[in-house]
Structure 1
Amino acid sequence: MEEGLALVVERKGKKRKRKKMREDRGRPFCQDPLDVLGRDLMLRVLNNLDARSLALCLVVSRTWNRVASSDLLWTSKCEELWCGKAHIPRLSLVRGISKLDAYSLSVMDGKRNRIMRDDLCDHVWEFHFTKAAPEYWRNLDPYWKGNGPPMHRYFHPDGSQTADPGDKVWGGHESCYSIVTSIIGEGKIREHYVRINRWRPLAVSRKQDWSWEMTNNLFCYSSIPDAYKEGGTGPLFLVM
């Protein structure tokens, strides 16, 4: 009796298998590419994707996430992102951070328009007068006269500001700066500017290459690119 029962079960199993084969006939056989290719080949395939497409692979499955988050992939993506940028954020170069995190933090910091003391102090700034400034000042400015290197300004952690020796515009006077930020509900910034002495406030803006510009109707400050500065620049923690 047991032999007869086993024979019936075996026949039913073969029947189900034949039925499934008939149902699957004409349809593509689906299998996870990661299982077929293996990790090393899959890394080569994923390396050809852009950063956005690679990021989508992170949510396919836990196994895909482990492969798609590899530093082997995101190192090159970081290099592509940083190429041509004026400044590389300090928080993306912290020792021990994954390249995926470095990429994400760089993108978020690159969208930041709120300038911090670290940003001011980490960069050398090119200074020039605007066209609306008095002619007397423009005549002293190499930017307009083309008779020498541009003027530079330096911000220091103690709140002071200095210039290059021999700067005709600077004149050796004392100078201090402050950053003014007013925030309304839900962290939304209502007003944000930099003020030097009691002069007119400087509106802050960020360019596509992540460089900074501060301007009013009389003069302009532009951060000088320093993408290769060791350790990066700007605040160590993400600022929105």
Structure 2
Amino acid sequence: MDGEGASILSRVEEHPDLVALIASHLDLAGVGRLAGVDRTLRTIISSTNDAWEGHCSHLWDRKVYVPLRARKLRASGDARAALRLSIEDAERTWLTDDELCALEWNFRFKASAGESWTEEDPYWNDLPPTRVKFEMPSATGGEVGGEADGAESRGTMKPSGFEMLEHRSLRWQWAKGRGEDVGGDRSRLELYVDGRKVPTYHVSRHSNWGFLMQSCWVLYTSFPMPVRGTDPSLDDEALEITIERQSREARAYNTGLFYDPTAEVDGGAGSADGEQRVVVSLSNGQTAELPLWLLQHMVLAQNGELEAEDDGSSEGENGDDEGEMAKLKAIA
């Protein structure tokens, strides 16, 4: 830096309030460039709360969700740390129990759910969308959805504004592990409608920092859902979870045959030979207890993924298959 430039910079640095005022009128990229000019400027900018207050106000005013921790940091006088935390949090795709139950959710079906649902859906009739409240029998603190150890979080879902859903039994629980169909460190939620599991919900974020939950058939927003056609990012064509990605779960629900993890029977329970068996619910409301290996074969066969075996290797299993299948058909 030449002598004249150094002299100007020296005079500017004698007035930290002026530096803060300049920084408050720059965008974040501009603040970064200004702080990179000189160590003293960087120190002034980093330690002047007023400069960061302006950026918090400008950015947060356009967002629908800012974490409570960030708001508390700002209130304590550390707007810079609050801003950084809020920007990092905007990438988070997991929910705690408290967040799931505290947020005010809006709901709609996707067109892929079929006309029988969309014709009755308020959203598709240009009416205010269905409001949904997730509830738990007791508070659990900040347990993280999909990542908790020990007791699983479970509860009920209460919709309002959609008569076809209001009288159904709707219960939820966090899915274990991570979704193979989309990947990423995100919460996944399982919903059971009248005891039947629908395709899993996956959590993501909107550019307004609100939360989204979606499956191949439905969409939830943690903020007022925009009128149809006004937000292209929320149109069905732009949403990431499709029928192709959840074809197995959709097919399992439609056939009435699904695996309910809450009804699993440990190896030996109800089984003389000690093999692992699973209780499945049928579309007629009855249940059947089947060996886990048979259920897996049935799902694979249904999906066209079970390769034909030669007669010699499969003959011994067919007898058992026929006995179990006869039992299933007798009550189906």
TM-score (norm 2): 0.51
1:93, distance to aligned residue in structure 2 (A): 0.7
2:121 is equivalent to residue 141 of structure 1: yes
2:202 is equivalent to residue 203 of structure 1: yes
Q: Report what 2:165 is aligned to.
A: 170
Within 2, Cα distance between the matches of 1:155 and 1:68? 41
1:110-155 Cα offsets, whole Å, 9 max, x none, are 1112233233222211111111223222222112233x43211111
2:9 is equivalent to residue 33 of structure 1: yes
Within 1, Cα distance between the matches of 2:61 and 2:119? 37
2:211 is equivalent to residue 212 of structure 1: yes
2:81 is equivalent to residue 101 of structure 1: yes
1:225, distance to aligned residue in structure 2 (A): 4.7
Within 1, Cα distance between the matches of 2:202 and 2:5? 60
Query: Compared with structure 1, are the counterparts of its residues 157 and 108 closer, same or farther at alpha carbon in structure 2 (3 Å cutoff)?
Result: farther
Structure 2: runs of 5 or more not aligned = 138-154, 226-332
2:148 is equivalent to residue 152 of structure 1: no
Q: Is the 8 A contact 1:124 1:152 kept in 2?
A: yes
Q: Which amino acid aligns with 1:143?
A: Y
1:76, distance to aligned residue in structure 2 (A): 0.8
Query: Compared with structure 1, are the counterparts of its residues 119 and 27 closer, same or farther at alpha carbon in structure 2 (3 Å cutoff)?
Result: same
Q: Report what 2:243 is aligned to.
A: none
Query: Compared with structure 1, are the counterparts of its residues 116 and 55 closer, same or farther at alpha carbon in structure 2 (3 Å cutoff)?
Result: farther
Correspondence 1:73-152 to 2 at 5 A: 73-94=51-72, 95-96=75-76, 98-146=78-126, 148-152=127-131
1:31, distance to aligned residue in structure 2 (A): 3.9
Q: Which has the higher contact order (CA 8 A, sep 6+)?
A: 1
1:72 to 38, 47, 50: 50
Within 1, Cα distance between the matches of 2:186 and 2:28? 34
Q: Report what 1:17 is aligned to.
A: none
Within 1, Cα distance between the matches of 2:219 and 2:208? 18
Q: Which has the larger radius of gyration?
A: 1
1:52-87 Cα offsets, whole Å, 9 max, x none, are 332455574367424443221111101111132122
Query: Compared with structure 1, are the counterparts of its residues 88 and 136 closer, same or farther at alpha carbon in structure 2 (3 Å cutoff)?
Result: same
Q: Report what 1:52 is aligned to.
A: 29
Within 1, Cα distance between the matches of 2:61 and 2:33? 23
Q: Report what 2:325 is aligned to.
A: none
Within 2, Cα distance between the matches of 1:180 and 1:97? 39
Let me know the Cα RMSD of the aligned residues: 2.9
**Residues 46-55 or 68-77, more deviating:** 46-55
2:20 is equivalent to residue 43 of structure 1: yes
Within 2, Cα distance between the matches of 1:169 and 1:156? 20
Query: Compared with structure 1, are the counterparts of its residues 149 and 45 closer, same or farther at alpha carbon in structure 2 (3 Å cutoff)?
Result: closer
Identity %: 22
Q: Is the 8 A contact 1:182 1:190 kept in 2?
A: no
Report the secondary structure of 2:209's partner residue: coil
**Paired positions, count:** 195
Report the secondary structure of 1:30's partner residue: helix
1:167-211 Cα offsets, whole Å, 9 max, x none, are 31223333222233536xxxx946742111222101222111112
Report the secondary structure of 1:169's partner residue: helix
TM-score (norm 1): 0.68
Q: Is the 8 A contact 2:52 2:83 kept in 1?
A: yes
